[in-house]
Amino acid sequence: MKKKILAAILMAAMVLSAVGCGGGASEEAAAPEAGNAETAETGDTASNDNYIAMVSLGFGHQFWQAVKQGAEEAAAEAGYRITFEGPETETMVDKQVDMLKTALQNNPKAVCMAAIDTESVATILQEAKAEGIPVVGFDAGVGEEESDSKCSTDNLAAGAMAAEHAAELLGEKGKVAVIGHSQTTIDAVQRVDGFIEKIGEYPDIEIVDVQYGEGDQLKSAEIAKSMMTANPDIDLIYTSNEGACVGAYNGLKEGNLIGEVLLIGFDSSAALKQAIRDGEIAGAITQDPIGMGRKTIEIAIKLINGEEVESYYDTGCRWYDATNMDDEDIAPLLYD
């Protein structure tokens, strides 16, 4: 009898134990599922709902870091986060295309881009727009068909501004050469076109040579030296970005031509600013990269919210030289 009672007690304990373990296992299984769902929801909100991707022509140069700064400030104020990336050099088309593809895989609410080669990203951006992702071009921008809006310097006007100052420096008479930095990037082409078109209004100024050095200082230095060898009577060289200008400056310096040949440039850097301050470079055009970054994000957010925007926003440019580079409205636009 005792054995039967003991067996019954043991059987009951085993059933209770099995029920207890089963309940515990169900709770443990339910808890991770709920936790994963909560994490996924929080992650989606943080990663996608307020996420804007920016893909730039480059990354390391101080100009792009200033654009990034302005963009981050505007995003933080509006409760958004951004990613900002670009290739090491402004000629790495394939790498930039890969960056764009990766950014789109993260499901951004908008894409902002400065394309090295607009055709290389056209189809990708058109597909993004078809999925309802706004596209904002900044600086060089993207193709018109792919862009909902663009925020940049009016580069045709900036090139024309450089030409006006070149003409003034020359007394509206002389020979000029141009060192551009790209024949495919829209803003680079426009800086040269704007300069050439404006110089054409001065009948006694002749453009004797136009070459391109990809914004590389060494290449631009060699171009400047070869230009002066072929045309020793050049009076002024116009360069369309910082790398071209510093390179041309180095080339003229190697040829002992500083002071004999006028040089004007575009953008800024520590070396360019110092040469202007020393009177060795006549002056340059500066953009407003921080303002460009801010405006780009502001327009992207408006598009996300379904607001109407203009197709183009001019973020401005100014001429600076040794006489005004420390002025309160110019100095903040100059970066190292």
Write the CB contacts of 62 (distance below 8 Å, at least 6 apart in sequence): 269, 335, 336
128 vs 2, more confident: 128
Mean pLDDT, all residues of the chain: 87
Per-residue pLDDT at 62: 82
What's the pLDDT band for 170 if we cut at 50, 70, 90? very high
Does the structure show a pLDDT above 80 at 97?
Answer: yes
Does the structure show a pLDDT above 90 at 238?
Answer: yes
Write the CB contacts of 219 (distance below 8 Å, at least 6 apart in sequence): 213, 247
Mean pLDDT score, 149-154: 96
What's the pLDDT band for 162 if we cut at 50, 70, 90? very high
What's the pLDDT band for 53 if we cut at 50, 70, 90? very high
> 48-153+289-305 has which fold?
Rossmann fold (3.40.50)
CA distance 4 to 47: 64
CA distance 101 to 104: 5
38 vs 180, more confident: 180
> Can you say how many angstroms the Cα of residue 326 is from the centroid of all Cα atoms in its chain?
26
What does the DSSP assignment read for 134-187?
-EEEETT---TTT-SEEEE--HHHHHHHHHHHHHHHHTT-EEEEEEES-SSSHH
SS3 58: coil
This prediction has a pTM of: 0.73
Does the structure show a pLDDT above 60 at 323?
Answer: yes
CB count, 10 Å around CB of 95?
15
CA distance 75 to 300: 10
Q: Quick one: DSSP state of residue 49?
A: I
Please write the tens of the pLDDT for every residue from 31-47: 333 333 222 222 333 34
Q: Which residues of 293-329 are buried (b: 16+ CB within 10 A; e: fewer)?
A: bbbbbbbbbbbbeeeebeeebbbbbbbbbbeebeeee
Per-residue pLDDT at 16: 38
What's the pLDDT band for 293 if we cut at 50, 70, 90? very high
In the chain, what is the straight-line distance between the N-terminal and C-terminal CA atoms, in Å?
97
CB count, 10 Å around CB of 285?
26
Residue ranges of domains in the chain? 48-153+289-305, 155-287
Does the structure show a pLDDT above 50 at 176?
Answer: yes
Mean pLDDT score, 83-88: 96
Q: Do domains 48-153+289-305 and 155-287 have the same CATH topology?
A: yes
| CB-count exposure of residue 167 (10 Å: 0-12, 13-18, 19+) | buried
When mean pLDDT is compared across 47-56, 108-117, 145-154, 202-211, the lowest value belongs to 47-56
Question: Does the structural domain 155-287 have CATH classification 3.40.50.2300?
Answer: yes
Does the structure show a pLDDT above 50 at 54?
Answer: yes
Torsion 121-155-281-334 (CA) sign: negative
CA distance 146 to 275: 40
Per-residue pLDDT at 15: 38
Percent of the chain topping pLDDT 70 = 86
Q: Quick one: DSSP state of residue 310?
A: -
CA distance 150 to 145: 12
Please write the tens of the pLDDT for every residue from 246-280: 999 999 999 999 999 999 999 999 999 999 999 99
What's the pLDDT band for 90 if we cut at 50, 70, 90? confident
> In the beta sheet, which residues pair with residue 55?
85, 113
CA distance 257 to 232: 10
What's the pLDDT band for 2 if we cut at 50, 70, 90? very low
> In the beta sheet, which residues pair with residue 314?
152
Does the structure show a pLDDT above 60 at 111?
Answer: yes
SS3 81: strand
Does the structure show a pLDDT above 60 at 109?
Answer: yes
Tokens of 67: 């654009």
